[in-house]
Amino acid sequence: MAVALKPSGFLQFNKKPEIHLLLSFHSRKTIVSTKMFKPMATLTTAPAFGLSGTFTRLKSQGKVAFIPYITAGDPDLSTTASALKVLDSCGADIIELGVPYSDPLADGPVIQAAATRSLARGTNLNAILAMLKEVVPQLSCPIALFTYYNPILKRGTDKFMATIKDVGIHGLVVPDVPLEETGSLRRQASKNKIELVLLTTPTTPSDRMKAIVEASEGFVYLVSSVGVTGTRDSVSARVETLLKEIKEATSKPVAVGFGISKPEHVKQVAGWGADGVIVGSAMVKILGEAKSPENGLEELEDFTKSLVSSLT
C-alpha cells in the first residue's frame, strides 16, 4: 500500500496502499494436501490459544509464527472457508482475514482488487461472520480480523466486538486508526477478550513507538518499509535495527509485514529476530489469479509449504 509514514508515527494513506500482514512460520503441523481436500466435519472446540498465547507457546518451542493473510470472499466465501482450513493444516499459527471494504485506503493493487471482486459478489460482514462461525471450530489456530474502522463504527464498537467474539475471533487489526483514537476500541476489545494489534513503522519516533507497543495486544506489528506493500525483491536491512529497538522497549512479540513474499525473505526476517512473519499480497494474488478455486487452493498449499519449510 502507498503509505506516507508521518513523523507522528501512524499510517497516513496517500494512494491506494497495500497493507497486509505477511507471514511467519515454524509450526510443524500435520500437512493435509488440498489435492484431495474435503471440508472437515465441524468440531466442537475452538482454538485453545489466542494471539499472545500462541506466541508464548511457539517461543517455548523455539519457533517463529507463520501468519498468512487472505481477503474474505475472494474468489468467494466457500473458497475462503477452504483456504482457512488449508492454511491451518499447512502450518499457519495465526491467520489474518481481511474484511473487504469499498474504500480500502490501506491496500495496494493486489488486495484492493481482491476486495473489489469480493464486494462485487455480494460479500458483507454478516456473511463473513456466518462463514467464520462454521469454520473457526474446525481450525487449530486463532484468527485475527483485519478491518477498517468505518465498518466497526457502523455496527457500533461494543456490538462489533461482542459479535466477533461470538464467532471465535481472537484478534483485530484496524490500520486506519491512530493511537490517540484507539481508546474506545481498546476498552471494548479488552472487555470481549479480543487482542487489538497496533502498528509501528520505520518513521515512528521512538517515544511514540514505545507508546504504541505498550498499548498493543497480542503482538506488535512492524511495518517493514515505507510505501506500497506487496511482493518485493528484498527486505530492507533496516528491519533488523527496528526489531532490536522495539525489543528493547517491550517483551511483547513482534511480527514483521510488508514485502515478505519469498521463502528467503521469511528465513531472513526470522533470523533477524522477528517472532512472526506476515505474508499477505502473495497469498491473495494466488487465490485471485488462479484459473479456478480448486487450482487456487492447490497453489496456496504448495506456496504455504514452501514458506513453512524455509523455517525448518
List residues with catalytic annotation: 96, 107
DSSP state letter for 140: S
For residues 239 and 276, what is the distance between their CA atoms, to the nearest angstrom? 13
Q: Most distant CA pair in the chain: distance in Å?
A: 51
Q: How far is CA 163 from CA 130, 167, 188, in A?
A: 10, 7, 11
DSSP state letter for 48: S
Pairing of strands 11-13, 3-5: antiparallel
Q: Which of 34, 44, 51, 46 is nearest to 95 (CA)?
A: 51
Residue with cell 477452504: 82
For residues 18 and 229, what is the distance between their CA atoms, to the nearest angstrom? 5
For residues 146 and 198, what is the distance between their CA atoms, to the nearest angstrom? 11
How many angstroms separate the first and last alpha carbons of the chain? Answer: 30
For residues 295 and 303, what is the distance between their CA atoms, to the nearest angstrom? 12
Structure-block grid coordinates of residue 221 = 506489528
- The answer to whether the Cα torsion of 145, 281, 228, 9 is positive or negative is positive
